[in-house]
Amino acid sequence: SAAVVPGDLLLLAEGDIVPADAGLTHASALLVDESMLTGESVPVDKSPHTGTPDDARVHAGTVVVRGRGVASVTATGKAGALGRIAALMETRPEPTPLQRRLAALGRVLALVTVVLCLIVFALGLLRGTAPGLMAVTAISLAVAAVPESLPAVVTLALALGARRMAARHAVVRRLPAVETLGSVTVLATDKTGTLTEARMVVEHVWTPRVAARLTGAGYEPSGEIRIDGTGGDDGVVPGADGGGRAGGDHAGGGGTGGRPATDGELAPLRELLTAAALCNDAELRPPSEDDTRWGALGDPTEAALLTAAAKAGCDDRRALNRRYPRTDEEPFDSLRKRMTTLHHTPDGQVLVCLKGAPEAVLDPAVLAEPPRLLEHARSTAARLAAQGYRVLAVASALVDEAPERARDAERGLRLLGLAALNDPPKAAAAATLADCRAAGIIPVLITGDHPATARAIATRVGLLPGSAPYDEPGKEPGTGLGSEPGHTTDDVVTGQALAAGDVPDPTLVRVFARTEPEQKLDIVQAWRARGHVTAMTGDGVNDGPALRRADIGVAMGRRGTEVARQAADLVLTDDELSTVVAAVEEGRRVYDNIRRFLLYGLAGGTAEILVMLIGPLLGLPLPLRAGQILWINLLTHGLTGVAMGAEPVARGAMRRPPRPPGQHVLGDGLWQRILLLGAVVTVASLAAGLGARELGAPWQSVLFLSLLAAQLGVVLGLRDRLVTRENLFLPVAVAVSAGLAAAAVYLPFLSSVLRTTALAPRELAVAVGVGLLGFAAARLGGRDKSRDADRDKSRDKSRDKSRDKSDGPRREP
């Protein structure tokens, strides 16, 4: 591709990667996979003789699935489709919400700390204390007041979060993205390969005699054939609703509705699928060491027909070709929209097999069938197509002599039936989006696929009305964010309508189809403009700009393109959307731990400043020396503070809404708790010091040890799970810090450096009591929050029960 320039001729064949944008001059049954560029779930027919300009062009990076072609290069580099997308990605990463919040907090802390330390310095001078001593004391107090271990805590929390995410198949490419995941309020996901299997599957088969549904997923030739009804005038597939579900099955093609087929009912189905397998150029590939799943070579639609034939008990394609050797063919092209093959039969006759689009096959010029049957077949195909399926009609005939050309055999055929194919949702897709809603995250589908396909998938996974996980339009559970009165979110909007300005507010829409890369950017930007934190998933080149612009870009590791992975902050090694939910949980854990440390560190710093300010007013001339302040700071903000960054996820973390994007890092009542805890520690420590002075005990040492013990008690009291095997580093760090605190009083070397005095057992018990008081204050201060979480959980259960009663029995995915 590096040597190609405009004007060069490209000779394209099956398996080639198109090296540059080019216009077709000749094509023979050319089928190109453009999913990485457009998001289209099925390969696209290309021909220079169609009236659509897009059908006469091929683009760099796309793959030739079938056929041959000659094309003249029209654009390379930045002038091509890939180049235009690359230009959209030339933006610098913006600071994450946490980085912005901590930067603002740092400025406030610096100002407040400097002012308070100057006050302490001035008060000391007024009392006649030496300026040098007060200067050292004020500087030490500034060091203690600012939680300087915060960068270490944040880095450790993010690193541990990244490590946990990697163990759950999510590789973090930018460390700050770990925390940003916990702030996500909108999850914009693509369809192919993310919500769906990215593998075509035959889900329904209709014949004039019987209608059936096939179970199973992917290209693995295993599954059941379930009879849903007769194929006559009883409808498309009895039991199938507008979302393509049958028999109450929410996963589509994987349920157990209907009944097993009898041998008599299997006969017409096998006849149809045998003809489809003969009129076929694909191959199935069994699992290998590199890939444990069944794969396919060739057109995904044809591979799905081979899988369906195997499920029906038909011979494999090679055995069929040996029994019915192919003698001639008329390949599929975008004008005729059908493919015909001729085969010799064992008794010397010629078998004609034809498959194609219903409008090209259900024609009296092709089929020798009664008009009533043709009309019913057309209505059946139309209804299946409206449900988002790709429908193929199959016909055959036995003739005595082969015609001169296969095309000449396309008349007087017998209709075998219809096959409805779909790229089905992943088994866990509906449950994953339900988990997003429970966590207060708004899911949005953005795809380049057909609107009918997008609607069908969105309905089946619960993004649109007609499925159990869906909530009423305009109201997103747990977020308080919804659409304006009079607007609904149950319409599929196309990229064309978006570009034409027909959508005044894209944030009111939940499903977008036929979108271009620029429009994906506009959708993400619209949500960000409303103050939301967005996560965008994607795997194609066309997703790159949106992945870069979103707050969190999530790329697929298996089937994703290198462009998408390089643009993303997070790469899913298992290509499962549920991994994003697990990553969000880790992000919330990280943010909770950072807030927990800020509560602990700032409450301790507040207490130390208040002790130095209030102590002299109560008759304690210099409550703490500079060395004692620094020792307290070392033990509380050192190992103990850093250990808080490894705390496990809080209970109910994924049952509460995400924090408001504009909320300060000390918001949601945290600064009030800081002041409350700081006041409790201050009062308890000063009371211990004053009591020791009244008794003639070494009051400064008692005050020093009490203040330190109170903060260690607080750190244990702030744990969400008091007794847990996770993060044993924290209780060990507290024990080590307590031992070093005692050493500062009882070891002669440290005692002389820190100017402390050994305490009697009764005085030591006072310090321990102050530590227990700090523990109790921290536990009581968090009780209301736990009670709110329990109440939210009870409300969620009540809502689920009421929904179960209204919607009928609910089955776990």
Q: Which residues are known catalytic residues? A: 190
Which tokens hold the place of 412?
A: 């007087």
Which tokens hold the place of 346?
A: 């064992």
Report strand pairing: 295-297 vs 211-214: unpaired
Q: Which amino acid is at 134?
A: M
Round to whole Å and give the CA distance between 585 and 147: 26
User: Which of 725, 162, 252 lies closest to 460 in space, CA to CA?
Assistant: 252
Q: At a CB cut-off of 8 Å and minimum separation 6, what does 285 contact? A: 219, 294, 295, 296, 297
Round to whole Å and give the CA distance between 694 and 122: 27
- With residue 393 as reference, give the H or E element that holds it: strand 390-399
In terms of Cβ atoms closer than 10 Å to its own Cβ (0-12, 13-18, 19+), residue 441 is buried
Round to whole Å and give the CA distance between 607 and 662: 29
594 contacts 179 by C-beta, under 8 angstroms:
yes
What sign for the dihedral angle of Cα 179, 180, 184, 190? Answer: negative
Q: At a CB cut-off of 8 Å and minimum separation 6, what does 743 contact? A: 750
336: left (phi over 0), alpha (psi -120 to 50) or beta: alpha
Which tokens hold the place of 7?
A: 């004007």
Q: Calculate the alpha carbon distances from 4 to 1, 562, 593 in Å.
A: 5, 21, 54
In terms of Cβ atoms closer than 10 Å to its own Cβ (0-12, 13-18, 19+), residue 563 is buried
What sign for the dihedral angle of Cα 421, 423, 429, 430? Answer: negative
- Residue spans of beta strands (DSSP E) within 179-219: 186-189, 201-206, 211-214
Q: How many CB atoms lie within 10 A of CB 143?
A: 18
DSSP, collapsed to helix, strand or coil, labels residue 203 as strand
Partners of 205 in the beta sheet?
212, 419
223: left (phi over 0), alpha (psi -120 to 50) or beta: left
Round to whole Å and give the CA distance between 329 and 607: 87
- With residue 372 as reference, give the H or E element that holds it: helix 371-386
Rg for the chain, CA atoms, rounded: 35
Round to whole Å and give the CA distance between 382 and 388: 10
Q: Calculate the alpha carbon distances from 462 to 411, 465, 527, 804 in Å.
A: 44, 7, 21, 15
Which tokens hold the place of 347?
A: 């008794």
Q: How many CB atoms lie within 10 A of CB 672?
A: 11
Q: Which amino acid is at 580?
A: V
Round to whole Å and give the CA distance between 565 and 546: 12
